[in-house]
Chains A and B, each alone.
Chain A
């Protein structure tokens, strides 16, 4: 396993080979993570491009008390992707191709869930959830959906979507404790 924390620290010292090592190891997967959220491949690559520049610039502020270096890098990519879609790019998608989009979402979320290792604790805990709670949670994390988007997609009031996500979070916490 790559020494992610060591490489991030090396970036903080100005070592560009360290950034390259992180890129070689993670770029393809990070583009795929961003693409789950922003959908378009070229947009996903732009997200990862911006994210690596942020990793470089913010390496010195990495703080292991809020998670591992690897999780930090993925967080930066997800934040960047969420910023891109919150700027409005996806509203068109939902209106113009609603049916296709719904199927698309379902497959992205289903794909992430089904690829979890069979022995994964997270998988076991997700399986215990009601379908709508599990999907709300996965739509949010994997596809970057807001409460409003979850509500729209699942045709329920926004309060219901919020409460599904919260209950899913609480149930997961209890299950994984």
Chain B
């Protein structure tokens, strides 16, 4: 065997040994670094994981101790809140590999939880008040990475947007355009829907807090049917920040 690690068969072997848990720390760190940027390697790992999961699913045993859930709840209450997102790109780049847990912290979680609940109340109130359509509250021009406008997004109310493409967008047959917004960092990116054709489209997403100036909107290229993760995974076609129109 004179092939280096680049040889395809070796990569699938490496994926297998990674999933079995046979790599030492250094090899695993190298592998995970590569995994973060190599879609083909992720596919190989996904294949191995699903294959061996079957062995895990043969396991069975009695119900865990009665207090196990309470112990988890206590740890979760003490743990830092899930990482906030202010940048959709950063979230996309995050590694898929599970790693060591971070140390517990006693602050953050409950404040975040309380704020989320308040936002929920505000959102439902807004939905009630905004039952009738009206002119756009906010307008967003989405730019591509060459700073060229590719689409206009008008936020009509707390859930509906109109998307008006401003340029031809090449969409491969097994792909679709998906529109996202970031209503607030704690919620993370939310899908507003799929753009089935590259022309003006009215989309209705979930009920969200009323859109704000500077709220981020973006369009990404995703697998047909939309992102499998519920978060943006594909390349950004355009993105921009909401502005208040002077009507």
A53:B76 contact, CB within 8 angstroms: yes
- Interface pair A170/B9, CB less than 8 Å apart: yes
Instruction: Name the interface residues of B31-48: CB closer than 8 Å to any CB of A.
Output: 35, 39, 42-43, 45-46
Does B13 touch A at the CB level, under 8 Å? yes
Residues of chain A within 8 A of B68, CB atoms compared: 27, 31, 45, 48-49
Question: At the interface, yes or no: B246 with Cβ under 8 Å from chain A?
Answer: no
Q: Let me know if B22 is at the binding interface, CB within 8 A.
A: yes
In the bound complex, CA of A96 to CA of B79 (Å): 38
B54 and A122 contact, CB distance less than 8 A:
yes
The reply to whether the CB of B175 lies closer than 8 angstroms to some CB of chain A is no
Residues of B close to A31: CB separation below 8 A: 61, 64, 68
Closest CB in chain A relative to B201 CB, distance in Å: 24
Within the complex, the shortest CB–CB distance from B18 to chain A, in Å, comes to 10
* Complex interface residues of chain B between 62 and 79 (CB less than 8 A to chain A): 62-65, 68-69, 71-73, 75-76, 79
A67 and B64 in contact (CB under 8 A), knowing A61-B96, A122-B55, A173-B16?
no
Within 8 A of B (CB), among A143-157: 144, 146-147
CB distance from A54 to the nearest CB of B (A): 5
> Quick check: B82 and A66 within 8 Å, CB to CB?
no
Interface size class of A (residues with CB under 8 A): 35 or more
- With both chains docked as a complex, state the minimum distance between the C-beta of A123 and any C-beta of chain B, in angstroms: 8
CB distance from B52 to the nearest CB of A (A): 5
Within 8 A of B (CB), among A93-144: 111-113, 115-116, 120, 122, 137-138, 140-142, 144
Interface residues of B in 183-241 (CB under 8 A from A): 186-188, 228-231, 233
Interface residue? B4 (CB, 8 A): no
With A13-B187, A57-B80, A141-B55 as contacts: A29 and B46 at CB distance below 8 Å? no
Contacts across chains A and B counted by CB atoms under 8 Å: 196
Contact with A6, one of B83, B94, B230 (Cβ below 8 angstroms): B230
Q: Select B45's contact among A28, A67, A76, A169, beta carbons within 8 Å.
A: A67
Tell whether, in the assembled complex, residue B59 and residue A65 are in contact, meaning their CB atoms are under 8 Å apart. no
Interface residue? A33 (CB, 8 A)? yes
Asked if B64 and A141 make an inter-chain contact with CB atoms under 8 angstroms apart, the answer reads no
CB of B226, distance to nearest CB on chain A (Å): 11
**Contact across chains for A29 and B49 when beta carbons are under 8 A apart:** no
The answer to whether B72 and A60 have CB atoms under 8 Å apart is: no
Residue from the list B16, B59, B76 in contact with A112, Cβ < 8 A: B59
Stretch of B97-105, B138-146, B156-164, B165-173 with 4 or more beta carbons under 8 angstroms from chain A? B97-105
Q: Is A176 interfacial (CB 8 A cutoff)?
A: yes
A9 touches B230 (CB 8 A): yes
CA distance A122 to B43 in the complex (A): 18
Q: Is A142 a contact of B55 with CB atoms below 8 Å?
A: yes
Given contacts A32-B60, A33-B59, A165-B17, 18 further A-B contacts (CB under 8 A): A13-B188, A28-B61, A28-B64, A29-B60, A31-B61, A32-B59, A33-B56, A53-B101, A57-B102, A60-B231, A63-B233, A66-B35, A66-B49, A112-B59, A115-B58, A116-B55, A138-B55, A141-B52
Interface residues, chain A, with chain B CB atoms under 8 Å away: 5-6, 9, 11-14, 16, 19-20, 23, 27-29, 31-33, 35-36, 45, 48-50, 52-54, 56-68, 70-72, 74-76, 78-79, 82-83, 111-113, 115-116, 120, 122, 137-138, 140-142, 144, 146-147, 165-166, 169-170, 172-173, 176
The 9 closest A-B pairs by CB, nearest first: A115-B58, A32-B61, A63-B96, A32-B59, A67-B49, A169-B16, A66-B96, A67-B46, A71-B49
B residues at A contact (CB < 8 Å): 9, 12-13, 16-17, 19-22, 35, 39, 42-43, 45-46, 49-65, 68-69, 71-73, 75-76, 79-83, 85, 91, 94-98, 100-102, 112-113, 116, 186-188, 228-231, 233
